[in-house]
């Protein structure tokens, strides 16, 4: 079966844009421009934008209308995501999180490209590509460091003394996950064990898939403050190189009326940018980890 | 006129984001994805409107700085179409008042007191009216241009 001009042109758009993206991401990763495998915003913004522009450079020859441009751009994004899964060994949930960003910028690039190439102004085309290239290089060479704290609190109908032992360690959480990312396979916190009840003791936070976060207790202020540093986190492709959980903390505040406010704090460092996008996800996931654990502590404490 | 509440929310409360390079264009792409899923026929109508405008002398299109497709005559804007079907067109205030009396258009969704008008495309009839609105604005620009040239 031979391909007609339309099919060949479409195919060239898919192949060249994805090869270019692979080349750019590969170059970035293997030249190790960033420490700790940080993925800069250009990877998720400039690369898909260029993919959209490059594909439209081919597709303009067959005068694609808006509907096929959007449809083929989504297909192009899916292809890029599949290649990331194969070559970059990214996790499925990770790729699910990144996909809205990829689709939005590929489609933006495709329509930007269509308008650019219709004008047939070489100076404009060269200027746009040069600008995107400069942004990519500058961003790749810039230092990226982002640490944030997520804090949550709940009120428990029990005294700090009744709550404390469940804060330090607790048995398996049997309650069904109600956060959608946990329901589709992201590991959720399941159990916590300790090697001792003192500062310096080891603590393990075990997740639903068996992954373990190794922790060390750095503050052990009975009935008030349990703070622990994360000293080892699992080599899970969903989090590896994307987020480091640095420290966790439970604070107990006696409300003086038989109830206690339990505050959960987590500090984390993100290695994926742009922050305005990924921090929304990081906060949401961390918050739901907190709430699952804190609600379990509440149930155990209120049982007496 | 039924309004797009999520679009109105972004325009009214998050308008500062329009100053971030590419944000308006990316937001417009999200509107395109939504239309692609929910009302794909609108995209065909947008193409039809675009083809109609491009068939007029010295008319061209570009990306609107606040997202959407911009229609120009000799490089000057006559109107723009957001990807949720909201058409904004610029008239002289007298023309705007006359069109408002006809009852199909509304004052511009942001600049209510200006010569700009807004019109949502929902039906096939709306699409034809959108072309008429753009043609009126185009003809006014052509006439204005001729007047200037004759001096």
- Residue B126 reports pLDDT greater than 70: yes
Which residues in chain B are closer than 8 Å to A112, comparing Cβ atoms?
A: 25, 63
Of A70, A115, A118, nearest to B33 by CB-CB distance is A70
Confidence of residue B147 (pLDDT cuts 50, 70, 90): low
Domain final residue pick, A107, A125, A141: A141
Query: Are A56 and A189 part of one and the same domain?
Result: no
Domain that holds residue A292: 146-303
Q: Please count the structural domains in chain A.
A: 2
pLDDT value at position A240? 65
- Residue A1 reports pLDDT greater than 60: no
- Residue A26 reports pLDDT greater than 90: no
Query: Are A290 and A160 part of one and the same domain?
Result: yes
* DSSP codes of every residue in B55-95: TSTTEEEEE-TTSSEEEEETTEEEEEE-TTSEEEEE--HHH
Of B33, B44, B63, nearest to A107 by CB-CB distance is B33
Q: Which of B66, B62, B99 is nearest to B78 (CA)?
A: B62
In 3-state terms chain A splits into helix, strand, coil percentages (rounded to 5) of 55, 20, 25
3-state SS class at B115: coil
For chain A, what percent of residues have pLDDT higher than 90?
77
Q: Which residue has the tokens 């969903």?
A: A238
Chosen CATH of B5-150 out of 2.30.30, 3.30.460, 3.90.1150, 2.60.120: 3.90.1150
Which residues in chain A are closer than 8 Å to B29, comparing Cβ atoms?
A: 104-105, 107-108, 111
Query: Are A125 and A157 part of one and the same domain?
Result: no
Cα dihedral A115/A119/A122/A124 (nearest 10): -60
pLDDT tens for residues A64-108?
A: 999 999 999 999 999 999 998 988 888 889 999 999 999 999 999
- Residue A165 reports pLDDT greater than 90: yes
Query: Are A108 and A177 part of one and the same domain?
Result: no
Query: Are A290 and A212 part of one and the same domain?
Result: yes
pLDDT tens for residues B65-114?
A: 999 999 999 999 999 999 999 999 999 989 999 999 999 999 988 888 88
Which residues are within 8 A (CB) of A5 and not within 5 positions of it... i.e. 6 or more apart?
A: A62
**Pairwise CA distance, residues A163 & A48, whole Å:** 49
Which residues in chain A are closer than 8 Å to B49, comparing Cβ atoms?
A: none
Query: Are A150 and A294 part of one and the same domain?
Result: yes
What CATH number is given to the structural domain containing A175? 3.30.530.20
pLDDT tens for residues A185-227?
A: 899 999 999 999 999 999 999 999 899 999 999 999 999 999 9
Query: Are A178 and A118 part of one and the same domain?
Result: no
Query: Are A151 and A133 part of one and the same domain?
Result: no
Domain final residue pick, A115, A141, A167: A141
Domain final residue pick, A118, A141, A164: A141
User: Distance (Å) from the C-alpha of residue A108 to the closest C-alpha of chain B?
Assistant: 6
pLDDT tens for residues A111-161?
A: 999 999 988 778 888 888 899 999 999 999 998 999 999 999 999 999 999
For residue B42, the tally of other CB atoms under 10 A from its CB is 21
Of B47, B62, B63, nearest to A65 by CB-CB distance is B47
């Amino acid at each position: 079966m031979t391909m007609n001009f339309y099919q060949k042109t479409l195919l060239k758009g898919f192949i060249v844009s994805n090869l270019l993206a692979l080349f750019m991401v590969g170059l970035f990763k293997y030249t190790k421009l960033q420490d700790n495998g940080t993925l800069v915003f250009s990877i998720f913004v400039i690369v898909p934008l260029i993919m959209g522009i490059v594909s439209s450079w081919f597709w303009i020859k067959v005068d694609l209308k808006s509907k096929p441009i959007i449809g083929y751009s989504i297909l192009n994004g899916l292809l890029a995501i599949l290649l990331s899964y194969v070559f970059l060994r990214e996790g499925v949930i990770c790729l699910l999180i990144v996909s809205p960003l990829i689709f939005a910028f590929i489609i933006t690039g495709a329509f930007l490209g269509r308008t650019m190439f219709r004008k047939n102004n070489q100076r404009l085309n060269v200027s746009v590509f040069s600008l995107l290239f400069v942004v990519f290089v500058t961003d790749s060479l810039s230092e990226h460091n982002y640490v944030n704290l997520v804090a949550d609190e709940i009120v428990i109908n029990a005294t700090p003394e009744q709550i404390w032992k469940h804060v330090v360690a607790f048995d398996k959480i049997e309650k069904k996950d109600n956060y959608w990312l946990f329901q589709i396979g992201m590991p959720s916190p399941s159990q916590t064990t300790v090697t001792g009840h003192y500062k310096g003791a080891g603590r393990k936070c075990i997740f639903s898939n068996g992954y373990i976060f190794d922790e060390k207790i750095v503050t052990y202020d009975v009935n008030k403050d349990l703070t622990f540093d994360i000293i080892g986190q699992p080599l899970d492709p969903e989090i590896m190189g994307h987020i480091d959980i640095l420290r966790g903390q439970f604070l107990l505040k006696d409300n003086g009326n038989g109830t206690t406010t339990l505050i959960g704090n987590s500090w984390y460092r993100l290695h994926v940018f742009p922050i305005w996008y990924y921090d929304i996800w990081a906060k949401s996931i961390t918050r739901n980890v907190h709430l699952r654990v804190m609600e379990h502590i509440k149930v155990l404490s209120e049982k007496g | 006129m039924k309004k797009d509440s999520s679009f109105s929310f972004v325009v009214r409360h998050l308008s500062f984001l329009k100053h971030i390079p590419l944000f308006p264009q990316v937001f417009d792409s999200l509107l395109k994805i939504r239309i692609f899923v929910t009302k794909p026929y609108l995209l065909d109508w947008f193409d039809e409107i675009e083809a109609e405008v491009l068939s007029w002398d010295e008319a061209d299109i570009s990306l609107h700085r606040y997202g959407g497709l911009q229609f120009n005559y000799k490089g000057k804007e006559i109107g723009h179409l957001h990807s949720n079907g909201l058409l904004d067109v610029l008239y002289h205030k007298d023309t705007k008042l006359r069109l408002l009396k006809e009852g199909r258009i509304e004052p511009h969704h942001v600049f209510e007191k200006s010569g700009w008008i807004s019109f949502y495309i929902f039906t096939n009839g709306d699409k034809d009216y959108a072309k008429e609105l753009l043609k009126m604005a185009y003809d006014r620009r052509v006439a204005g241009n001729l007047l200037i040239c004759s001096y």
